[in-house]
Amino acid sequence: MAIDFGRIARGVATGYIGQKLANTAANDAMKGRIIERAGINFYENTLPEFQKKEKNREETYKKLSSKYGVNVAEYMDQEGFITGSTSDYANIVKDLGANDNLNETKLKSYLEATNAGSYESRKQGRVSDIQDREKFVTGNLSKNQIGDMTAKLFLSQSETMTDASEATAPKTMTETVTTPAVPGSQVGPQVTEAVPEKTETKEVPLATFEEIFGKDEEKLQTDFSAMPYEDKTRIIDDARQEFQTTYGFDKLTGAPKIPEKYKEDYNKLKKEGKVGNKTIEAYAYDRFFKEQYLPKVQIGYNEPYAVTTARRAINHQRSINNEAGVQQAKDILKSMGFDPNDYGL
């Protein structure tokens, strides 16, 4: 009996084409769902969060301009002290106080040397970025296409939005120095030749925060809420890596493992309606960050670390009714340059 190889080949080809079409349709459907999710995430999360932060930024900038002047507001914005948080203004005022020791000349020279643009130009850069992302989303919804940017749309705004203030500022500035002329002279047989006036340009270090505002920057370096944006980002990234190293990853999902204690507390709070929209991952990381990582690197969350340490000591002494111990902790804090009354102690 002769075998019809042509018929078999046609059957195989037909089956292959059918399977190929089915796979293509399935892939297209999956891509469509991903794009739809990206669009929903953008309009329900990313864009509203961006708008909220921009409103907070603008309010903080205007308040600082009114209280301290435009140059101070510009410095705080370009150096990352204004982040879009509702607590930015209070944190900055806490750091600057009456700002009686401001060196306006050094502040102006710093702004001119760093040349980081204005608040409006930085704002326009952020707006342009969000507009580009919106075009990407709407364009893909109509074309049913995805690319490398899709993954970014699933990230939080803080991980994807950029700002001109995040750029690393130069460490030096150019300064023109004029050395006055020295006339020649003669004392007895000793003749001193005249030295003409000399003007030269040289690189000098930029003024520090302490030099500009007359504040102790070392104190600010142990208060997370008062740190510049890039320092906060570095600390957050380091803490996230340590969290992942400490608890490992789930082999099935690839997500970082959550400690059982955190799971129990999260579920309890969730039943009580106290976690809002915060995921268990965000809750666990936030607790690890504040309770374990920051104390390990000796940084306070909303206050200098020395104040955090004193607060714990004072609370402990009060719990055992030892007022002498409370006063001793306050005295130690005062000796370090902190007024306990400023921190409600």
pLDDT at residue 153 tops 50 = no
Q: How far apart are CA 311 and CA 344, in angstroms?
A: 9
Reply yes or no on whether the pLDDT at 7 is more than 60. Answer: no
Print burial letters for 243-270: b (CB count within 10 Å at least 16), e (below 16).
beeeeeeeeeeeebbbeeebeebbeeee
Q: Is residue 177 scored above 70 in pLDDT? A: no
- Contact at 8 Å (CB) between 261 and 239? no
Predicted local confidence at residue 57, as pLDDT: 93
- Average confidence score pLDDT of the chain: 76
Q: E strands of 129-271, at which residues?
A: 172-179, 185-187, 190-192, 198-205
Percentage of the chain modeled with pLDDT above 90: 11
Please give the Cα distance from 13 to 299 (Å, whole number): 67
pLDDT digits (tens, 9 = 90+) for 221-251: 678 877 777 788 888 888 988 998 888 888 7
pLDDT value of residue 162 = 45
Q: Is the pTM of this model over 0.85?
A: no
- One-letter amino acid of 160: T
pLDDT for residue 66 is more than 90: yes
For residue 228, give every residue at least 6 positions away whose Cβ sits within 8 Å of its Cβ, in sequence order, or none.
79, 80, 81
The stretches of 144-256 forming alpha helices (DSSP H) are: 149-153, 157-160, 209-213, 217-220, 229-247
**pLDDT, tens digit, 9 for 90 and up, residues 99-131:** 888 888 889 988 988 888 899 999 998 888 888
- Burial (CB < 10 A; 0-12, 13-18, 19+), residue 61, is buried
What size, in residues, is the chain?
345
pLDDT in tens, 277-288: 888 888 999 999
Q: Which token pair is 141?
A: 């919804």
What are the pLDDT digits (tens) for 193-224? 777 877 777 677 888 887 888 765 555 567 88
Residue in the block written with tokens 């902790």: 329
Q: Which two tokens stand for residue 226?
A: 């008062």
Q: What is the DSSP string of 71-139?
A: HHHHHHHHTT---S-TTHHHHHHHHHTT-TT--HHHHHHHHHHH----HHHHHHHHHHHHHHHHHHHHH
User: Which tokens go with 343?
Assistant: 């921190």
C-alpha count within 13 angstroms, C-beta hemisphere, residue 189 = 0
First to last CA, the chain: 100
CB neighbour burial string for 69-91, b if at least 16 within 10 angstroms, e if fewer: eebbbbbbbbbbbbbbeeebbeb
Sign, CA dihedral 312-315-319-322, equals positive
Residue 15 has pLDDT above 80, yes or no: no
